[in-house]
Amino acid sequence: MRTRARHIGVLGGSERCHAGTVTGEALDPGAGGASGRFAPSPSGPLHLGNLRTALLAWLFARSAGAGFELRVEDLDPDRSRPEHERGQIADLAAIGLSWDGPPWRQSERGDAYRDALARLRERELVYPCWCTRAELRAAASAPHGALPAAYPGTCRGLSAGERRARERSGRPPAWRLDAGGRVGVALDRLHGPLEAAVDDFVVWRGCADGEGVAAYNLAVVVDDAAQGIEEVVRGDDLLTSAPRQALLAELLGLAVPRYAHVPLVLGPDGTRLAKRHAAVTLAEQLHAGASVELVVGWLAASCGLVPGPAELTAGEVLEAFDPARIVREPTVLDGALVAV
Ligand SMILES: [Zn+2]
């Protein structure tokens, strides 16, 4: 049987567009417990959308009797704060989630990322890119139909001389995957098979005062494999990252996890939930008079797991967990969960 793949857009420019089919059987990881994870960036308090995604990730893993890992994605030193990490972990524990072992921190994983970059360089699967943000913006707005996110490939075909000239500039390059038009293929529990042509995305960012830092996609792929994550549950704003990460995992010889991209929670104005919206965090809801159980009940009800608002513990939601009930549409949060 061949299953129609959900084509989620071209990541590398229209010339590489490739819609197609993949075999469902080939992608089926089989039944059984698949270790899961939640991996927040400690750049602020978790909002109810983050907490709902964390709850769902925990439910998927624990309902299968599988492990559940926590990972702090703190590679951006300008935005990451230890107090946010502590606050996020406290909120996850407060809503009743448990995880196996201490949380991993990406800021402590540099050796693993450098090793992955070295393997990609050895196999000439990456190339240095000296494009500035301004150059990338100019290329993206040029009238040749490239998507804003698509890298035009400027540095892919540099001659040895051109490369030396850029090296002499002293500006450290980023490293991009030489995707070569390859298609990334992944299986999503809620969206079915996903596939897309992958662009030459950045795997390593140059940095003027050091060796640089792993880009998000590289760090995630290396960590998911190292933590033994078999099922990645996360917000569906990252749906288009799945083919990129699946391809990168394959090229690194790592297992490709299964995915479940779950819908987001939006603010009353229909934009992604943010601090400027009212009562978005657990603390704000508790301050408005809600109990933790009412918040957990709302998290479960808002994504379709239980019929209506109720006071529930995470354990009670786990007992009744049926992934088939998860809604596919975003939820709009309209202020406090209790009338003040
Ligand atoms: Zn470039």
Does residue 52 fall inside a structural domain? Answer: no
Does residue 84 fall inside a structural domain? Answer: no
The token duo for 15 is 């010339």
Does residue 144 fall inside a structural domain? Answer: yes
Does residue 224 fall inside a structural domain? Answer: yes
* CATH number of the domain to which 133 belongs: 3.40.50.620
Q: How far is the CA of 333 from the centre of ligand 1 (A)?
A: 41
Does residue 11 fall inside a structural domain? Answer: yes
Q: Residues 47-59: pLDDT tens digits?
A: 999 999 999 999 9
Q: How far is the CA of 43 from the centre of ligand 1 (A)?
A: 29
Q: Looking at residue 10, what is its pLDDT?
A: 38
| Structural domain for 14, as ranges | 1-31+109-262
Q: Looking at residue 131, what is its pLDDT?
A: 92
Alpha helices in the chain (DSSP H): 24-27, 48-63, 82-94, 110-122, 133-140, 160-168, 216-226, 241-251, 282-287, 292-302, 314-319
The token duo for 217 is 């996609």
Which residue numbers in the chain have pLDDT < 50?
Answer: 1-4, 9-31, 145-148, 340
Q: Are strands 174-177 and 36-38 parallel, antiparallel or unpaired?
A: unpaired
Residues with CB under 5 A from ligand 1 (ion): 129, 131, 154-155
What whole-number distance in Å separates Cα of residue 73 and Cα of residue 94?
A: 20
Q: Residues 178-225: pLDDT tens digits?
A: 999 999 999 999 999 999 999 999 999 998 777 899 999 999 999 999
Q: Looking at residue 219, what is its pLDDT?
A: 98
Does residue 116 fall inside a structural domain? Answer: yes
What whole-number distance in Å separates Cα of residue 197 and Cα of residue 189?
A: 20
Q: Residues 243-269: pLDDT tens digits?
A: 999 999 999 999 999 999 999 999 999
Does residue 299 fall inside a structural domain? Answer: no
The token duo for 258 is 């299964």
The per-residue pLDDT of the chain, averaged, comes to: 88
Does residue 41 fall inside a structural domain? Answer: no
DSSP 8-class letter at 115: H
Based on the structure, what is the number of domains in the chain?
A: 1
Q: How far is the CA of 157 from the centre of ligand 1 (A)?
A: 10
Q: Return the axis-axis angle of helices 48-63 and 292-302, rounded to nearest 10°.
A: 80
Q: How far is the CA of 173 from the centre of ligand 1 (A)?
A: 8
- Sign (positive or negative) of CA dihedral 76, 79, 84, 86: positive
